[in-house]
Structure 1
Amino acid sequence: MPRFYLTTAIDYANGDPHLGHALEKIGADVIARYRRQCGDDVHLLIGMDEHGQKVQQTAAKDGVAPQAFTDEIAARFQAIWSKLGISYDQFIRTTESHHKTGVQALIRMIAERNPDDFYERSYTGMYCVGCEAFKQDADIVEGKCVLHPTRTLEEVEERNWFFRLSKYQGFLQNLLATNPSFIEPESRRNEILGLLAQGLDDISASRARLDWAVPFPLVLSNGETQGTYVWFDALPNYLTGTGFPDAGYEARWPADLHIIGKDITRFHVVIWPAMLEAAGLPLPKQVWAHGFVQLGGERFSKSAGVKLDLGEAIDRYGADAFRYVLLREVPFDSDGNFSWERFEERYTSDLANAFGNLASRAIAMVEKYFDGVVPAAARPDAELDDDADVAAYHAGMNGSRGWLLHEGLAAVSRMTARANEYTAATTPWAVAKEAARTAELEQILASLIRRIARQTVLLAPFMPTKVEAVWTQLGAPGTVAAQRIDALAELEPAGWRVQKGEGVFPRPAPPTAPPAK
């Protein structure tokens, strides 16, 4: 059984999960569920990034210990992922003892293999607590970080351990030249190539006066012990999550796919590969950087006050509808906008009126005309156009052209529209009035149930709960999640006993005030 190890960025423990977090986790979950239905042994890792100056300051402001602060936030994140049906296999926290051991082991491995890669240096720079990073002039506009314009940059002067990142510039340029799919989509790769062309600076690997951190395992010449810089703590979670440095971690490492936001590509495509190369460890196979979700054209940001209550948004139409509409509306390779008006339009058109209505009508007609048993009939030529959309679905979902989940959903939507057009064109309710046309009616309804069953399997990674209800109403065997998504050609519903239930996608009530705050 092929292994497939994918990860998301671990979320920083400084507030509640927002729509941007949800986009990434839902997207990763869809890929994980798709790969499971293709027969892969999947391991999905998500988690929390809990160290750093920002957490330490926020916890102190709230009058609680950092560990208690992060425990409470981690619980809130896990509750939302449960509500959204995120089927993660592992939830890692950087405060776990094994992770700390692994981070220190990786740093020692680098130091032993390349003794000159860590060196002491005094440094003065502008530090953004929001990014947990020193900022270059290009990242500062009117004295503010471009990503956190409401935060005041801090001028920091201290003596730290530095990592000789500049040494790996040629290695990274060669990596992207010989393996261009290492970072996708192409727009993100071009950004990194531009960054590399400007030349790399060495980076701080430790921080002074930072208690809330993994202790940096190397001691400065003056005897001072410092805390590990938060990115040298956070990035190794993908590795420590496999059990590193204990024996057997190689069974899962390297990761097949890192899914991250476009704002942290530099850390994952420059710093992380350089760290692994310095340690003599294999690199992940690919990094995929999705875009931002915007609300009214503004990026979601706690500090800027642009937010939406995620729990209330999920409750509005349920987790499955939320998952579907978000990935249908927001391209997984670029930025996208979220609005309740567009959400309701998409829910009504795609789910209530198209797929939901198609399933309800077809099941009702099989009950009425064939006592609930799906007839056996040859596949009509009208179904052949679906084959191209099944291929398009896989092309959007399997990574061969990038992780274009929105294209996968668009392909299923075309199949649904075609089935509704077929229903209107063949008028089975009229055919049923003529006894001599029974064979024709059998073919029409068998085709409709077959199409709905296939669409249900294709939609399972996106809406696992709702389509399971449809699968049950179809009288299909087992569970929809157990169906091989790459074996749709063999899916034959003849003999299934349908049972009409409540509509899985009821039409929305009249609009109310949106829950955005």
Structure 2
Amino acid sequence: MPEPYYLTTAISYPNGKPHIGHAYEAIAADVIARFKKAQGFDVRLVTGTDEHGLKMDKTARESGRDTLEFASEMSSYFRDMCATLHIDYSAFRRTTEAQHHAASVAIWEAMAAAGDLYLDRYEGWYSIRDEAFYDESELVEGEGGKKLSPQGTAVEWNVEESWFFRLSKYRDYLIELNESPGFLEPESRRNEVLAFLKGQELRDLSVSRTSFDWGVPVPGSPGHVMYVWVDALTTYLTGIGFPEREGEFDRFWPADLHLIGKDIVRFHTVYWPAFLKSAGLPAPKSVFGHGFLLHRGEKMSKSLGNVVDPLELAERFGVDQLRYFLLAEVPFGKDGGFSSEAIVTRCNAELANSFGNLAQRVLSMIFKNLEGELTPYARADVDEALHSAVNSAGTGDLTAAFEALDFSVGIEAWMRAVFACNQYVDEQAPWTLRKTDSERMRAVLLTLFEAVRNLAIAIRPVVPTSADRLLDQMGIPADERDYAALADAGWYERLVASGFRLSQPVGVFPRLELPDEDGA
């Protein structure tokens, strides 16, 4: 049985439509999932929407909508985003689902049984936008001396009866966990969390609210609903069958990776592991806090009017082109910028001109000069050298980088292999060989055929639709497109023996044009 691999995105808060940041995270998670599948893992990818909390209820009421009806509509936009961007998730979970309520109650009761919940009175600063409580020492001063959260959001003084979780009990455990190699990446996020844990005594955490009723009711405590982060984080368990403890859940928990934005790292590396420890469940194996996308150097906000719809970008430039650009352009874990000009420039240079043109030239010459026929051929030393370059950079280095979530580094290695192929074409000049040495021309073209196939398989997690369109034209069977196929020495001979003959090829990476009036 294949080894299991379980990863999640953050559970998106759908009080507005998806923006490019949601798309960025979903695309990265999908690439990881496809990459692990290509390696032979049995993968589960879970995403969804976090629909409870004061902010959601307030937004619905202000628009005159029933809260559940509003949540259902908004959640559908996130599901549509996933469909458009080819996010191949295993489960899309909504926190308003009955199974999720049962899971939330189960983890609450487990924490209560551990003696980690007690009833008291909460007085403190609360950010509706962040759905988070903040200590006085964490607040920053805004315009006119107004108190703001560390994220720059408005806070208000809140007083109400609340259930509390004994977070202080788990301080030593959380420090040890966050210091363990590989648990929290990148290093900058780890340093921030450890500074928080070591710099002060942990205060027990308010985990219920009585000022609104839009949430999972606290069992045995009328009038209380669970703090949204208890509820939302539990989605990672719901996605693999919890509270059932057999089958999917036993096989896939603990999660191999929570992929989240850097602004919610504390919830995932302090609160979540403590809840799990209290409930007798293991912590996730790793958490990665990626950076933000900046539009022309600015953080996007509705007030600035620079929020970008990812579906519009996908329609304008192509889904695979958008996926490729976001992972190639931004070192994963750091903030990065994007613009229409940058998308067009990179995708034209790398996908259209370099790889797309390489594939189209090679397949066209085989169709024209070899009548599309694939035959056995003898490799010269220069041909072996090209295959070594492709296998080393285009697959080996890419795989190592993707394993470390260094997507831009992996794609750069893949591009080195593409450049090596283009240099080989120029040096071997098959158009000249056609007149002087037809057998050598055949060997050159078929060497390139193999190289293009390997490059397409290697980059397939990033551009799955385009890669499959190319591999379809090349006669590569659908079940021979994973990374094990790259090590299969007999694939070419089988393809030759099948009698496959190449038809007139069609390009898969058209050149992009910048719109006359660019709004992105």
Q: TM-score, normalised on structure 2?
A: 0.93
- Aligned equivalent of 1:165, options 153, 163, 167: 167
For 1:237 and 1:24, the matched residues in 2 are separated by 17
Q: Which moved more, 1:437-446 or 1:29-38?
A: 437-446
Could you list the per-position Cα deviations for residues 48-79 of structure 1 after superposition, in whole angstroms to 9, with x for gaps in the alignment?
Answer: 00000000000001101110001001111111
For 1:508 and 1:74, the matched residues in 2 are separated by 32
Aligned partner of 2:107 in structure 1 is: 106
Q: In the superposition, relative to structure 1, how do residues 283 and 15 fare at CA in structure 2: closer, same or farther (>3 Å)?
A: same
Question: Quick check: 1:354–1:417 contact (8 Å CA) kept in 2?
Answer: yes
Q: In the superposition, relative to structure 1, how do residues 185 and 463 fare at CA in structure 2: closer, same or farther (>3 Å)?
A: same
- Aligned equivalent of 1:145, options 148, 157, 161: 148
Aligned partner of 1:322 in structure 2 is: 322
Aligned partner of 1:451 in structure 2 is: 451
Aligned partner of 1:461 in structure 2 is: 461
Aligned partner of 2:405 in structure 1 is: 403
Q: Which moved more, 1:118-127 or 1:2-11?
A: 118-127
Whether 1:381 aligns to 2:400 is no
Q: In the superposition, relative to structure 1, how do residues 319 and 298 fare at CA in structure 2: closer, same or farther (>3 Å)?
A: same
Count residues in correspondence: 501
Q: Which moved more, 1:151-160 or 1:407-416?
A: 151-160
SS at match of 1:180: coil
Aligned partner of 1:133 in structure 2 is: 132
Question: Quick check: 1:216–1:227 contact (8 Å CA) kept in 2?
Answer: yes
* Aligned residue identity for 1:122: R
Could you list the per-position Cα deviations for residues 335-387 of structure 1 after superposition, in whole angstroms to 9, with x for gaps in the alignment?
Answer: 11111111110011011101110011000111122110133232422332223
Question: Quick check: 1:375–1:445 contact (8 Å CA) kept in 2?
Answer: no
Q: In the superposition, relative to structure 1, how do residues 102 and 472 fare at CA in structure 2: closer, same or farther (>3 Å)?
A: same
Aligned partner of 2:240 in structure 1 is: 242
Aligned partner of 1:485 in structure 2 is: 483
Aligned partner of 2:361 in structure 1 is: 361
How far off is 1:475 after superposition? Answer: 2.4
Could you list the per-position Cα deviations for residues 186-221 of structure 1 after superposition, in whole angstroms to 9, with x for gaps in the alignment?
Answer: 1111111111111322111001122101011253xx
* Aligned residue identity for 2:122: Y
How far off is 1:239 after superposition? Answer: 1.0
5+ residue gaps, structure 1: none
Question: Quick check: 2:9–2:29 contact (8 Å CA) kept in 1?
Answer: yes
Question: Quick check: 1:7–1:258 contact (8 Å CA) kept in 2?
Answer: yes
For 1:243 and 1:368, the matched residues in 2 are separated by 54
* Aligned residue identity for 1:237: T
* Aligned residue identity for 1:6: L
Could you list the per-position Cα deviations for residues 425-479 of structure 1 after superposition, in whole angstroms to 9, with x for gaps in the alignment?
Answer: 1111001111xx2332122111111111001101111111111111122222x22
* Aligned residue identity for 1:429: W
Aligned partner of 1:154 in structure 2 is: 156
Whether 1:300 aligns to 2:305 is no
Q: What is the CA RMSD across the aligned residues, in angstroms?
A: 1.7
How far off is 1:121 after superposition? Answer: 2.4
Could you list the per-position Cα deviations for residues 11-43 of structure 1 after superposition, in whole angstroms to 9, with x for gaps in the alignment?
Answer: 001101111111110011011111111111111
Provide runs of 4+ in structure 1 moved above 6 Å: none
How far off is 1:295 after superposition? Answer: 0.6
1:50-449 correspondence runs (5 A): 50-113=51-114, 115=115, 117-136=116-135, 137-142=137-142, 143-145=146-148, 149=152, 152-177=154-179, 179-199=180-200, 200-219=202-221, 225-248=223-246, 249-302=249-302, 305-377=305-377, 378=379, 379-389=383-393, 390-398=395-403, 402-434=404-436, 437-449=437-449
How far off is 1:414 after superposition? Answer: 1.1
Q: TM-score, normalised on structure 1?
A: 0.93
For 2:386 and 2:53, the matched residues in 1 are separated by 59
How far off is 1:408 after superposition? Answer: 1.9
How far off is 1:228 after superposition? Answer: 0.6
- % of aligned pairs identical? 40
How far off is 1:225 after superposition? Answer: 2.8
Question: Quick check: 2:9–2:260 contact (8 Å CA) kept in 1?
Answer: yes
* Aligned residue identity for 1:69: F
For 2:240 and 2:303, the matched residues in 1 are separated by 34
SS at match of 2:45: strand
How far off is 1:131 after superposition? Answer: 0.3
Aligned partner of 1:515 in structure 2 is: 519
SS at match of 2:213: coil
Aligned partner of 2:33 in structure 1 is: 32
How far off is 1:299 after superposition? Answer: 2.1
